């Protein structure tokens, strides 16, 4: 699934989650090549639930393990979905905590 997101981004789309869906906005020069983009968008539509589930899971892990706000965790989680460094969320370190 991350390959579809990566390819859409590489062709010139900005992609983000919003209100239980996924928004794709063309940011490239001219118009996108329909022969390239249509199959990718169709695949994204078919796998939307999987993408959003992956996003929510990553955000929850980053929020808990990183001790971050939900907003920041979601930003980081979405940033690493579909990227070559998708394991970046594993590098979030817990803040120093003391047991009381």
pLDDT at 97: 42
Helices (H), the chain: 2-11, 34-46, 48-66, 70-80
In the predicted model, residues of the chain with pLDDT beneath 70 are 1, 82-100
pLDDT of res. 100: 37
Could you tell me whether strands 13-18 and 21-26 are parallel, antiparallel, or unpaired per DSSP bridges? antiparallel
Task: Count the neighbouring beta carbons within 10 Å of the beta carbon of residue 11.
Answer: 15
The residue to which tokens 């955000």 are assigned: 59
pLDDT at 83: 64
Residue 86 has what pLDDT? 45
The structural domains of the chain, with segments of one domain joined by +, span 2-91
Q: What is the pLDDT of residue 90?
A: 44
State the pTM of this model.
Answer: 0.74
């Amino acid at each position: 699934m991350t390959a579809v997101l990566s390819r859409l981004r590489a062709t010139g789309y900005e992609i983000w989650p919003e209100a239980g869906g996924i928004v794709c906005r063309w940011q490239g020069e001219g118009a996108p090549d329909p022969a390239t983009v249509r199959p990718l968008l169709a695949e994204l539509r078919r796998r939307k639930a999987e993408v959003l589930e992956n996003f929510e899971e990553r955000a929850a892990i980053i929020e808990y393990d990183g001790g971050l706000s939900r907003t920041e965790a979601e930003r980081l989680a979405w940033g690493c979905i579909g990227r070559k460094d998708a394991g970046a969320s594993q590098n979030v370190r817990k803040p120093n905590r003391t047991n009381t």
